[in-house]
Chains A and B, each alone.
Chain A
Amino acid sequence: MTSSATDLAVQARGLVKTFGRQRAVDGLDIDIPAGIVHGVLGPNGAGKTTLIRMLATLLRPDAGTARVFGHDVVREAEAVRRRISLTGQFASVDEDLTARENLVLLARLHGHTSGAARRRADELLEGFGLTEAAGRLTRQLSGGMRRRLDIAASILVRPDLLFLDEPTTGLDPRSRSHVWDLVRRIVAEGTTVLLTTQYLDEADQLAHRIAVVDHGRVIASGTRGELKASAGAGGVRVRLSDPGQRDKARAVLTTVLGAPVHPDDDPAGLRGQIAADRPGGSAGIAVEALAHLARAGIEVSDFSYGRPSLDEVFLALTGNPAELTEATA
């Protein structure tokens, strides 16, 4: 094994997992460097959870190999389990126990004596803002508190690699940013985090590197900047004064930008990427587009030009924006 392979928290090649006729994971390759938050972004059913379950030694791959810190997930499952921790998509804490009992139980399983387990539980309850909820049954906690408890349960002993499967699905915005803060703190203490999400802004906020997964394969990967650059030189968004002119405006913009232009959810909105091979620089083309619209007698109420968002990246990669952004838990 080369030394670079052991610097990788995860290295998977050609992973396949089928359930009946459905190929949940279909020849997936991924490299995850240690010490970062690595996002796995994709719609529901893209294979994210199946990937995590294979890496966490819960599912045996049908084909391909996966190594976690150089240990094979099938042949050296025990060694893998010593390095990882899993926060599943569905609450992986016991509903019929109190918050504190959940942490004490897991701390005992990690080998803490009963005194040390109680101390560690209290320390984490405090660190996660759960001290007041300590004696309450887990099923009575709010979604946000339960998620935090779930994450606390995963770092009773500092894991080298933490799997967070859709940690903020179904949470309100405040609980969400609380979870994000925790993830940042955990990674700052040296844990590699593999985070799956169907929210683009979450990947944008947290992940140093992102793999976009669709139909069980990685269809793009890189840093946020690299992914954005791959989607085009830049994009424009236009809002028209008269929604009735949208089709006409779309035709004008398509010609100028040299790439498809898509209608927004807003009935008067349009957005499009500037083709990377377009001469004249993307800012110049944006100006030109505005001029063409004016000349065609189309009145514009809003116009913006900028680097593409991850939304646009996903759109460019899959041609299917709605599936991702409208998916619910």
Chain B
Amino acid sequence: MTTLAAPPPGGPAGPVAASITFAWRSLLKIKHVPEQLGDVIGIPVLFTLLFTYLFGGAVSGSTHQYLQYLLPGTLALAVVFVTVYSGVTLNRDLTTGTFDRYRSMPIWRPAPVVGALIGDLGRYLLAAGLVVGLGFAMGYRAHGGAPGVLAAVALVTLFASALSWTWTTLGLVLRTPTAVMNLGFVVLFPLTFVSNVFVAPRTMPAWLRDVADANPISHLVTTARALMNGTATSHQVLGVIATSAAITIVFAPLTTVLYQRRQ
């Protein structure tokens, strides 16, 4: 009979090693259930194609000209929409016995959540890559060149990572994955549409224009546009970084506390 038990290793994994192990878990899940990338592929492709060809003629006179305006917007839009699934996935994980096991192990308690968000970075980058690739194939030209495009993708991904903490918070408060998804989209539609993603706010009624101008998504899109056009100022970039930091500072600890208390 083989010995079932073995002597322990030096000690449990530290916070960084544990988080990376959970990020690896996310990637393994994508490998085994590639369908879960449906949103990451579907949303960017759909938004880029649909809005360009549907609104292009009406808004800018030609689809080609509209694409120049729209593409940085759909980049932000697609990645921001994909963030909702971070909350959906966490909520679904919590309802399984798996998380009970993780939480009864002597590891850094937030590691499963932090690791999952690290894994989600890959999803954001994939969504961003699809929008940019499709945009170029449709005739988009970036005056800021490759560095501008990469900087815009990096900034959008940073903002998305910050925003995903709000969905993990929601994922811990709401009861079902469907509820997280529904509320997520109810919040995201006005947040992304009342912005400068599709049209310049100056065409909106004054009260709506004020909202659109104050919307952090507008600032993100303005900065992404400027980066891709090669006209960004450090003031714009720092503004988005500051917003991302502010969202993280509020919602990351909130997620952690709710996760620890979750029973």
Contact = CB atoms under 8 A, between A and B. Distances in A.
A94 B6 contact: no
B97 A89 contact: yes
B234 interface: no
Interface in B81-113: 96-98, 100-107, 111
A126 to B, nearest CB: 7
Contact of A88 (B7, B10, B17, B101): B101
A43 B218 CA distance: 58
Interface string B30-54: 0011000000000000000000000
Contact of A109 (B3, B32, B96, B105): B105
A201 interface: no
A128 to B, nearest CB: 8
Contact of B5 (A86, A97, A98, A155): A155
Given A60-B263, A97-B25, A88 B100 contact: yes
Contact of A158 (B8, B33, B101, B107): B8
B17 to A, nearest CB: 7
B114 interface: no
Given A88-B97, A88-B100, A98-B32, A109 B1 contact: no
A242 B96 CA distance: 52
Contacts of B98: 91-94
A56 B13 CA distance: 19
Which of the four size classes fits the interface of chain A? 35 or more
Contacts, number: 118
Given A58-B263, A91-B96, A120-B6, A109 B13 contact: yes
Given A59-B263, A111-B13, A94 B25 contact: yes
Nearest to B93: A94
B9 to A, nearest CB: 4
Given A97-B28, A105-B21, A111-B13, A157 B97 contact: no
Contacts of B96: 90-92, 94-95
A157 B4 contact: no
A137 B31 CA distance: 11
B29 interface: yes
A90 B24 CA distance: 23
Interface in A96-128: 96-98, 101, 105-106, 108-113, 116, 120, 123-124, 126-127
Nearest to A191: B5
A92 B94 CA distance: 11
B104 A97 contact: no
B5 A110 contact: no
A152 B8 CA distance: 15
A302 interface: no
B177 to A, nearest CB: 14
A78 interface: yes
A153 interface: yes
A81 interface: yes
Given A94-B25, A97-B25, A186 B101 contact: no
A185 B4 contact: yes
A81 B100 contact: no
A116 B25 CA distance: 18
Nearest to A79: B106
Given A89-B97, A90-B97, A108-B13, A124 B104 contact: no
Given A58-B100, A127-B3, A189-B4, 4 more contacts: A106-B105, A110-B8, A137-B32, A190-B5
15 contacts: A56-B100, A81-B104, A81-B105, A84-B104, A88-B100, A90-B97, A92-B98, A94-B25, A94-B98, A109-B107, A111-B8, A111-B17, A112-B9, A158-B7, A189-B5
